[in-house]
Structure 1
Amino acid sequence: MTAHGIHTIDTGFVRPCFDAAYLIVERGRGAFVDCGTNFAVPRMLAALDAAGLAPGDVDWLILTHVHLDHAGGAGELLARLPNARLAVHPRGARHMIDPSRLWAGASAVYGEEVMESTYGRLRPVPAERVVEAPDGHVVDLAGRTLLCLDTPGHARHHLAVHDERSNSCFTGDVFGLSYREFDTANGPFILPTTSPVQFDPAALHASIRRLVALQPAAMHLTHYGRVEHVAKLAGDLHAQIDAMVAIARAAQDQPDRHAVLTGALTDLYAGRAAAHGWTQGRAALVALLGMDIELNAQGLEVWLDQQ
């Protein structure tokens, strides 16, 4: 738990300290921000119990976006929270009410068997429990203001949440990835995440600038946890977005484009991690970031093909 009634929950997805959800507690009422997969539901309920709340004390589940590592367990969790409503970006609402397209799209990539074992079957959320949260929408948690901000760049249906009480933001994936294994005496290490289908570098730059303009004391990342040094990390993200776009343009006409991209991204992150004071080397970096490097390469390829 951090100050201001904010609890970080490790959803257990992939590895420890990889995928976070959050519980915000205000005057005996609770709101979750993101929820992980179906397999995270017991951890979410255990976090409630540890905070002294019952399932009926939860008023909200707020989703930053509907990618399955953030939202896959929403239907199963809400089935156990009798009074909670779901707040989600207007572009994502229909996928929570009817997740069949989400499931079909991901299954086409990974296969049904992998989807079942990784995420569990998606459960629809009743339409009457879904609240669309456009830019500027305020979620009221027992008088505590949680402001939803449209923040595209990683996904077009992405929102971030500014918590006025703690002066911090819950950023989903728009403020990048910062795994605690890369922390050094120089603080946290961060990198952007492009996502496979909706990366938009100009929008991502703008979303990061918008969050920094709020002058938050900290960011709460899904991957992973609370980070400070917000202005420095934002500068790191801006520099890397530009570097990644340059890498993509240079690889555009290469016959082995994907391999070129993954190699160049690995070089970029390994060089920056070393400059950050991380001494464990390239092989250890690939072990921790291999999936992210692969997804970032895919995201850059889709973006190139859309230009």
Structure 2
Amino acid sequence: MQGLSAFGNGIYAVDSGYTGTDVAAIHLIEEGGRAALVDTGNNDALVHVEQALAETGLSPEAVDYVLLTHIHLDHAGGAGAFIRAFPNAKLVVHPRGARHMAEPSKLFAGVSAVYGPERAKALYGELIPVPADRIIEATDGLELSLAGRTIRVFDTPGHARHHVCYLDTKSRSFFTGDTFGLSYRQFDVDGRPSIFPTTTPVQFEPDAMHDSIRRMEAEQPVAMYLTHYAQVTDVPRLAADLHRLIDAHVAIAERHAGAGEARKQLIEDDIWALVAEEAKRGGWKTSEAETRRILALDVELNAQGLDVWLGSR
């Protein structure tokens, strides 16, 4: 899927190139010669988006919105660079995230605490502030018009308290960031995708995540467009799997709640066991080594998220 992928209804996925291919998608929505972008990857992704715009006959001036699902930097690290490159674009971001886009120093400090300063710098480079007058706060129920095409904001905590999803009313599809989990194409079997939740390092709230997923399910969407990675259909089945796997993550965390300093590693070991169960259930064709390579960072972050969640209860 590397490069630009078209899904119909004016929806495209652009591979951001973040940490490899088919890891983080930036979605492009085109309507009437105008464009919206969903999530940004990091600064290095800008060149891929500019190429995608050119391939679809759109100019940088055609971009009306850069829609952030949340401000984790694999989704928002390039926001400042994008706003600088697309002169007519407004940045749409959860009210909790708006101030961090205008002044990103605390955001980068938080990311450095998770990844370490050197790794954070290598992944994200310099975060460019977004002028406050080019920021729109994505409040729940806000409706945006893209050449008459309505995009509605849904507040969707669970992965992060600053997370929103966007319902494209024309295609009856959601752009879900991380709320609807991860679904890497390498694990598809005969076109049938699998799904896995992402608990995030610091703001995992399982009850809120369940509620956010149910709220989107109630709209009976045709498809979900995940940042990690792109379009999935068969939404009811995948939603049921997500609910089951969120509960499985909670059970893993609670099993090791009293384990002290060994807790995070024990949680991570059990998440890998859960991955192995899902690989068997889904008939994944990847080897164990390849599965571990693909999911290494996600499992590490899920374990961090569960460990922090236990400590915050």
What amino acid does structure 2 have at the position aligned with 1:131?
I
Q: Distance in 2 between matches of 1:108 and 1:175?
A: 25
Cα-to-partner distance string for 1:151-180 (whole Å, 9 max, x where unaligned): 000000000000010110000000000000
**SS at structure 1 position matched to 2:37:** strand
Change (3 A) 1:273 1:101: same
Matched, 1:110 2:109: no
Cα-to-partner distance string for 1:112-138 (whole Å, 9 max, x where unaligned): 332222111000000000010100001
Percent identity of paired positions between Structure 1 and Structure 2 = 51
Q: Distance in 1 between matches of 2:213 and 2:11?
A: 22
Correspondent of 2:75 among 61, 70, 73? 70
Aligned residues: 307
Matched, 1:291 2:297: yes
CA RMSD in angstroms, aligned pairs only: 1.0
Q: Distance in 2 between matches of 1:200 and 1:241?
A: 10
Unaligned runs of 5+ residues in structure 2 are: 1-5
Contact 2:114 2:201 in 1 (8 A): no
TM-score by length of 1: 0.98
Correspondent of 2:270 among 264, 289, 301? 264
Unaligned runs of 5+ residues in structure 1 are: none
Moved more, 269-278 or 238-247: 269-278
Q: Distance in 2 between matches of 1:57 and 1:175?
A: 29
| Structure 1 equivalent of residue 95 of structure 2 | 90
Moved more, 127-136 or 104-113: 104-113
Deviation, 1:290, is 1.1
TM-score by length of 2: 0.96
What amino acid does structure 2 have at the position aligned with 1:209?
R
Q: Distance in 1 between matches of 2:110 and 2:286?
A: 37
Matched, 1:211 2:216: yes
Deviation, 1:282, is 2.8
| Structure 2 equivalent of residue 33 of structure 1 | 38
**SS at structure 2 position matched to 1:2:** strand
Deviation, 1:7, is 1.0
Moved more, 112-121 or 42-51: 112-121
What amino acid does structure 1 have at the position aligned with 2:203?
Q
Change (3 A) 1:264 1:246: same
Contact 2:176 2:225 in 1 (8 A): yes
Deviation, 1:53, is 0.6
Cα-to-partner distance string for 1:26-58 (whole Å, 9 max, x where unaligned): 000011011110010101111111110111111
Contact 2:156 2:165 in 1 (8 A): yes
| Structure 1 equivalent of residue 27 of structure 2 | 22
Q: Distance in 2 between matches of 1:204 and 1:108?
A: 24
| Structure 1 equivalent of residue 61 of structure 2 | 56
